[in-house]
Chain A
Amino acid sequence: MNKTHLMLTALGLVCALGSPLTVAGTPQEDQATFQNYFKQRFPHVPVDDFKNGAYALDPVGRENWEAIEEFPPYEAAIDNGKTLWATPFANGKTYADCFPDGPGIAGKFPRWDKERGMVVTLPLLVNECRVANGEKPYGYFLGPLAEINAYMAYESRGQVINVAIPADDPRALAAYEKGKEFYFARRGQFNFSCAHCHMGNSGSTLRTEILSPAFGHTTHFPVYRSKWGEIATLHRRYKGCNEQVRAKAFEGQSEEYRNLEFFMSYMDNGLELNGPGARK
C-alpha cells in the first residue's frame, strides 16, 4: 500500500485507486483529471458523446431514447417557454429587455458575478428579471421557469460549455471549491456522495439502471424525465438525488446548488449544450 493510498484510506474517502496519483490543485488540473478519468474508463465513448449521459454507454437504452426524441416530450415546454418569453409583463417590458442578446445565452452560464460575489445561473436571472419588472417569481424546480429555460436551452443548442473561474477574485475559486466539496462529500442516511454513483460506479448497474457518468451531467437541462412526466430544472434533479440518499434537499438556487452547478459545469467544459433533454 503506497503512501497516497494510505492517506486516502485514512481519510475514509470515496474510491480507492490502483495507480499512483498526485494531489490535484488547480481547477484546471481537476478538470483534466476528471475528464481523463471518464475517457479512460469509457475508452469506446467518443468525447462529444458524454453529453448523452447513460445513452452513451447503453445501446439498447439509446435506441429507445432516440425513438423518444423523434417526438420529443419536451417540445410543448419549448413552445410554452417561447410564448412566455414573448409575452410582455404588466409594465409592457419583456424578458428581452433583461436579456438583450436574446434567449440563446445558456452557454454563458453559470458564471461568477464579481459585483454580487456569487455564482449566477440562468434560471436565477430569469426570475430576477421578473421581480425587477414587478412580477412574481416562479418556483425554481418546475413549471413556467423550467419552460422558459427549456426554450432558452433550445435556442442555445450547440454552444460549448466554457465556464471560467476568474483569477482576479478569490471568492470565485472558493465557490468552486465549495461545489467540489459538495460533490465529493458523503451525505444522507445512505452516506453516498455524488461521486460514489456517478464516478466510481458510473456505467455499473443499480438494479437494472445504468449509472450515468458525471462527465456530461449539466449539458441537457432542463430535462423532461419520464419518471416526472414533466420538465424540470437541474436543481430539481439535485433535490431528487439528495432525497434519494435520504438527505435533506436544499432550496432551488441555494448557494449550495449554485456552487455545485458551478463545479459540475466547469468539469463539463468543452462539451456541447444539448438541452432540453429527455431522460427516463
Chain B
Amino acid sequence: MKFPSISRRRAPALILGALAITAVGVASEMPKIDLTSGDPAAGKAIAMDRSKGNCIACHLIIGGESPGAIGPALIAMQTRYLTKEALAIQIWDATVKTPEAAMPPFGRHAILSQQELADVVAYVWSL
C-alpha cells in the first residue's frame, strides 16, 4: 500500500536542474540487525523523543501528542510491511525505496544505534 505524501504530488521543474548536479549519498545496505531483540516500550520512548527518533514530529501515531503531518500516519503497519525487516530497511534509509523521501536515514546516518533501531522497529511494527 502506498501513502503518497504532499511532497510527492508535484515538484517544480527547477528542482531537476538543481538536483542533476547533486550527488546522492551512496546507499549502504542495512547490516544484519537482530530485530528480535527490539523492545517496543523503549522504541516508543525513542519515537516520541525530540533528540532521538522523533517520529511524532512528522507522523501521526495514535496516542502521540501533537503529531506532524509530513509523513504517512503510522497505523496498520503490518499490512504495509510484510516483514519486520522490510520495515527496518525503510527506517534504516527511506531513500532506498523512495529516493526523494524527506525522512532522515536513521540507520545509515547513525542517528539511532542498531539497538535503538530494533526498538523502534518493534514499536512501529506494533502500531
Contacts and interface: CB of A to CB of B under 8 A. Distances in A.
Contact of B66 (A7, A13, A208): A208
A201 B100 CA distance: 12
Interface in B24-42: 24-25
A181 B6 contact: no
Interface in A166-197: 177, 180-181, 183-186, 189-192, 195-197
B105 to A, nearest CB: 6
A96 interface: no
B10 A33 contact: no
Interface in B78-127: 95, 98-100, 102, 104-105, 109-111
> What is the interface residue range for chain B against chain A?
35 or more
B24 A12 contact: yes
Contact of A16 (B8, B20, B67, B70): B8
B21 to A, nearest CB: 6
Given A11-B20, A11-B24, A196-B102, A204 B6 contact: yes
Nearest to B65: A207
Given A18-B10, A184-B15, A199-B12, A207 B100 contact: no
A34 interface: yes
Contact of A201 (B6, B13, B14, B98): B6
Interface in A184-228: 184-186, 189-192, 195-197, 199-201, 203-208, 211
B22 A181 contact: yes
B10 A11 contact: no
A13 B102 contact: no
Contacts of B56: 207
Interface residues of A, number: 51
A200 B6 CA distance: 7
B10 A184 contact: no
Contacts of B110: 189
Contacts of A8: 11, 15-16, 19, 99-100
Given A192-B104, A205-B69, A207-B68, A184 B58 contact: no
Nearest to B54: A207
A21 interface: yes
Contacts of B57: 206-207
Nearest to A179: B18
B14 A30 contact: yes
A29 interface: yes
A11 B22 contact: yes
A191 B6 contact: no
Contacts of A196: 7, 102
A184 B6 contact: no
B55 to A, nearest CB: 11
A72 B103 CA distance: 37
Given A12-B95, A13-B19, A206-B58, 17 more contacts: A11-B19, A11-B22, A14-B19, A14-B102, A17-B10, A21-B12, A33-B12, A37-B12, A180-B18, A184-B15, A185-B18, A189-B111, A199-B11, A200-B8, A203-B6, A205-B69, A206-B57
Question: 5 nearest interchain CB pairs?
Answer: A200-B7, A12-B99, A15-B11, A13-B19, A12-B24
Interface of A: 4, 7-19, 21-25, 29-30, 33-34, 36-37, 40-41, 177, 180-181, 183-186, 189-192, 195-197, 199-201, 203-208, 211
11 contacts: A8-B19, A12-B99, A12-B100, A13-B24, A33-B14, A37-B12, A181-B22, A185-B18, A199-B12, A206-B58, A207-B56
